[in-house]
Structure 1
Amino acid sequence: MAVATLHYIHDPLCGWCYAAQPLVSAVADTLGDRVSIRLHGGGLFDEARTLDPELAAHIVHADERIGSLSGQPFGKPYLEGLLAEQGTVLFSLPPTAALLAADALDAGKAYPLLVAIQNAHYQRGLRVVEPSVLTELAVEAGVDGDAFERSFAQLQGTATIEHLQASRRLLREVGGQGFPTMALEIHGKRQILPHHYDYGRPAAFVNRVAALLPAVH
């Protein structure tokens, strides 16, 4: 039974959140029986933005640093496809709504779907703002496709915007500076969980989290 909650304030299209993916996944894999992961989408691109050369150059530069620090791979379809194509749209609301939809159906599927969305974007160069792509990824993550589409339709719009607003309130409450921010909650008390030192070192991050958990009796 989980004794702690890892509040993960993130965005599916945030490169540094992709860098943190191995850290969060290691906690899920190693400490999943003691730590539950709760996703809070913050809305990095809260309005649809068409990629332009200036933004693309900024992203490429950041991705080079992310890759060197974290070891996370960036696929050719992303680098030479998605980032190079005119008309690529960055919009956080559809993938965030998808995560809410998966969570509403099965809380255990939300984080696997986030991983699938990140990998689809950064490795496969898929357009994860498109509902059809999100449905395919949800199915790959083990969610029933028809149920997902119904849940996704219900949670788009107001519900997603309210979720973003709540996530940003939480970010302020815990004293976070941006995405990703992690806070560990134990017995109703939350504390910021440093992770920047552990990019590329998931075992060290697991040890950091484990050291804060109540002793097992």
Structure 2
Amino acid sequence: MKFIYVYDPLCGWCYGFTPVVMQLQQQSNGSMEFEILSGGMMTGSNRPPFSSMAAYIQKAHVNVEEMTGVKFGAPFLEKLLPSEEMMDSEKPSVALTVFKYYQPENAISFAHSMQVALNYDGKSLNNDDTYRKLIRPYNIPEDEFISRMHDEHYRYETQQEFQLIQNWGITGFPAAILDTGGQLYLCARGFTPLDQLQQTIDNILKENNNLK
């Protein structure tokens, strides 16, 4: 059985939901496989500067904080948000694809590291140096990691991931899917508290057992 977390590195609600998924992963104690996929929210012609979303995010981040308990930092709200820095999901998504090559079991934790770097520390996810710092705790060779991030193979893999999410009809993030081996079930659409998520998973499994 596999829990598939569909997220986007630039999505504020995903920043709030990743800790929930991490808790679920801890609680499952190896009884369930976990995978994280990038959705490609801001790519191609849809890559505006942060400043164009500033008014919306300044309001929306308060709701995210109240609902989820995460905090957005002053460097993000006061420096990055008003800037002309481009909102681009591709590079951090490629970074996650490369990270999964090394340590798939820690991929959700790494995704959260990127979210904290962006939303709390106000770091640019378009900058290679940001990733050098983020991979240090995982003891991954830095130059090799950055080199792979610029390798067309990993970009292609990431684009395939975006396509898969599109084929599943998922257009909003975060989302989560439970793969029971025979069927895929949508078990979260938008931020979902841990107890509610666990209840949904239990209900799906119960229903599945009844069908056997």
- TM over 0.5, shorter chain: yes
Question: Where does 1:81-120 land on structure 2 (aligned, <5 Å)?
Answer: 81-84=79-82, 86-120=83-117
Q: Give the TM-score of the pair, scaled to structure 1.
A: 0.83
Which residue of the partner structure matches residue 185 of structure 2?
Answer: 191
Match of 1:167 in 2: 165
Matches within 5 A, 1:198-217: 198=192, 201-210=193-202, 212-213=204-205
Could you say which residue in structure 2 is the equivalent of 1:55? 53
Describe the shift of the 1:32–1:22 C-alpha distance in structure 2 as closer, same or farther (beyond 3 A): same
User: CA distance change for structure 1 residues 157 and 204 in 2, over 3 Å: closer, same or farther?
Assistant: closer
Amino acid in the other structure paired with 2:43? D
Matched residues, number: 204
> 2 CA distance for matches of 1:16 and 1:158?
26
Q: Map Cα deviations across residues 63-102 of structure 1 (whole Å, 9 max, x no partner).
A: 1111111111111111112113x22221000000000001
> Which residue of structure 2 aligns with residue 66 of structure 1?
64
1:146-177 deviation per Cα after TM superposition (whole angstroms, max 9, x unaligned) = 3322322224543322221122213x2xxx45
Residues 187 and 197 of structure 2 are in contact (CA less than 8 Å); yes or no, is this contact kept in structure 1?
A: no
- Please tell me the residue identity of whatever aligns with 2:73: G
CA 1:193–1:102: 2 relative to 1, 3 Å:
same
Which residue in the other structure is 1:11 paired with?
8
Q: CA deviation at 1:208?
A: 4.0
Q: CA deviation at 1:188?
A: 2.6
Structure 2's unaligned 5+ residue stretches are none
- 2:176 corresponds in structure 1 to 182
Structure 1 residue 17, shift from structure 2 partner: 0.9
Report the AA paired with residue 183 of structure 2: K
Q: Secondary structure at the match of 1:34?
A: coil
1:101-159 CA distances to partner (integer Å, 9 max, x unpaired)?
A: 01012211321210100011111111112122123212234433233223222245433
Percent of aligned pairs with the same amino acid = 22
* 1:146 equivalent in alignment to 2:140: no
Check 1:156–1:60 CA distance in 2 against 1; reply closer, same or farther (3 A cut): farther
For residue 80 of structure 1, what is the aligned residue in structure 2?
78
Change (3 A) 1:211 1:22: farther
C-alpha distance in structure 2 between counterparts of 1:147 and 1:94, whole Å = 16
Indicate the SS of the match to 1:49.
coil
Does the CA contact (< 8 Å) of 2:7 and 2:173 recur in 1? yes
Report if the CA contact (8 A) 1:8-1:182 is conserved: yes
* 2:18 corresponds to which of 6, 12, 21: 21
TM-score normalised by structure 2 residue count: 0.85
Structure 1 residue matching 2:179: 3-state secondary structure: strand
Q: d(CA) in 2 for partners of 1:160 and 1:113?
A: 16
Whole-angstrom CA distance in 1 between matches of 2:70 and 2:111: 15
